[in-house]
């Protein structure tokens, strides 16, 4: 495998961009599903390489975290060093482009597998965070909620000998720290009840909450098509929306560098950088009228122009009979 090279931003070929633009124009209510690949340009590492294999060791599981004090020490020691990379990360051009596409009327739902909160920071609304938020922590005993930022000073104050260490950041606020969980480390506890605190993310071995899946499924039903951005879809919780879209006759397109689990069912694939592709796409697409808005004063003129440009044919609109393969 090769890490993607930051010196080669992998701009999309113009014919790929043409195809993507045409896809969105035919299916303007997009269910956008994003993954780690959209946040790597914000300095947040992903879990997997371009072939979908683990880059290093697999992430902690729920069973490990709740089952062993040593695992919790290891988790929090690594989190203390790795969280700042995600806690202070800024959205990149891809996040901003999706926010612009949403305000232009092309994103009916934004579902992310990421826990970094960067879509919200870029201005997207109603984001469904399938795997939760690394920005929050909750008590497994009493349910009290805390911001992750409020936990960081406690971690650092109580563990000065580890706080000074350097470790490269890893996915989801983790760090590459070879920490022996049998060494002393003060894990944070609930200020209200002393109970076990857990980051409000869906760990491996844990299910996505049912109501979150239901919200995303309803959003899929209301959408015309799926656009996958920056995900290998190796995790079933994301992949299933592509499978369900196919069952419902809704086409799936993807912008991703490298293989995805959904490759066999994709109607369109753009193998290019998320940022370069979405910025170019957003620049090409004019604001769209929603069905609930009245006609713009110039809508009739637009239609006439489209009709003329199409050699007298009325402009194509989204239908369920489009053949995408």
Annotated catalytic residues are 131
Annotate each residue in 85-124 with x if it binds Zn ion (CB under 5 A) or - if it does not, as one string.
----------------------------------------
What's the min distance (Å) between Cβ of 141 and Zn ion?
A: 5
Part of the chain binding Zn ion (CB under 5 A), chosen from 30-38, 183-191, 203-211, 274-282: 183-191
Q: Are 232 and 171 in contact (CB under 8 A)?
A: no
Quick check: 193 binds Zn ion (CB under 5 A)?
Answer: yes
Quick check: 190 binds Zn ion (CB under 5 A)?
Answer: yes
Quick check: 142 binds Zn ion (CB under 5 A)?
Answer: yes
Q: How far apart are CA 181 and CA 163, in angstroms?
A: 15
Report how many helices (DSSP H) and strands (DSSP E) the chain contains, helices first: 11, 9
What's the min distance (Å) between Cβ of 67 and Zn ion?
A: 19
Q: How far apart are CA 41 and CA 56, in angstroms?
A: 19
Using alpha carbons only, what angle is made at residue 18 by residues 17 and 23, rounded to the nearest 5 degrees?
A: 95
DSSP, collapsed to helix, strand or coil, labels residue 168 as: coil
Size of the site for Zn ion (CB under 5 A): 8
Quick check: 141 binds Zn ion (CB under 5 A)?
Answer: yes
What's the min distance (Å) between Cβ of 158 and Zn ion?
A: 18
Q: What string of DSSP letters covers 273-314?
A: -HHHHHHHHHHHPPP---TTSPPPTTHHHHHHHHHHHTTTPP
Q: How far apart are CA 227 and CA 242, in angstroms?
A: 9
Quick check: 140 binds Zn ion (CB under 5 A)?
Answer: no
What's the min distance (Å) between Cβ of 72 and Zn ion?
A: 15
Quick check: 144 binds Zn ion (CB under 5 A)?
Answer: yes
Quick check: 137 binds Zn ion (CB under 5 A)?
Answer: no
Q: Which residues bind Zn ion (CB under 5 A)?
A: 139, 141-142, 144, 190, 192-193, 195
């Amino acid at each position: 495998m090769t890490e993607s090279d930051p010196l080669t931003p992998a701009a999309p070929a113009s014919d790929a961009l043409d195809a993507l633009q045409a896809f969105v124009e035919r299916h303007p209510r997009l269910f956008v599903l994003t993954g780690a690949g959209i946040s790597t340009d914000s300095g947040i590492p992903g879990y997997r390489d371009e072939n979908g294999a683990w880059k290093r060791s697999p992430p902690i599981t729920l069973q490990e975290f709740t089952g062993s004090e040593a695992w919790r020490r290891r988790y929090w020691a690594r989190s203390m060093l790795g969280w700042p990379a995600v806690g202070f990360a800024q959205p990149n051009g891809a996040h901003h482009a999706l926010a612009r596409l949403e305000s232009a009327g092309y994103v009916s739902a934004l579902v992310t597998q990421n826990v970094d909160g960067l879509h919200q920071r870029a201005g997207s609304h109603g984001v469904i965070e399938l795997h939760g938020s690394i920005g929050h922590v909750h008590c497994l005993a009493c349910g009290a909620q805390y911001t992750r930022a409020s936990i960081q000073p406690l971690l650092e104050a109580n563990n000065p000998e580890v706080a000074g260490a350097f470790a490269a950041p890893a996915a989801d606020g983790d760090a590459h720290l070879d920490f022996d969980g049998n060494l002393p480390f003060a894990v944070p506890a609930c200020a209200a009840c002393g109970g076990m605190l857990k980051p409000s993310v869906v760990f491996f071995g844990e299910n996505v909450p049912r109501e979150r899946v239901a919200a995303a499924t309803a959003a899929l039903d209301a959408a015309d098509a799926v656009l996958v951005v920056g995900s290998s879809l190796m995790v079933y919780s994301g992949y299933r929306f592509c499978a369900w879209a196919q069952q419902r006759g809704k086409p799936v397109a993807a912008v991703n560098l490298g293989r995805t689990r959904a490759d066999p069912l994709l109607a369109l694939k753009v193998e290019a950088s998320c940022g370069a592709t979405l910025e170019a796409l957003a620049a090409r697409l004019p604001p769209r009228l929603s069905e609930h808005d009245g006609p713009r004063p110039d809508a009739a003129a637009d239609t006439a122009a489209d009709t003329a440009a199409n050699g007298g044919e009325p402009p194509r609109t989204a239908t369920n009979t489009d053949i995408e393969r």
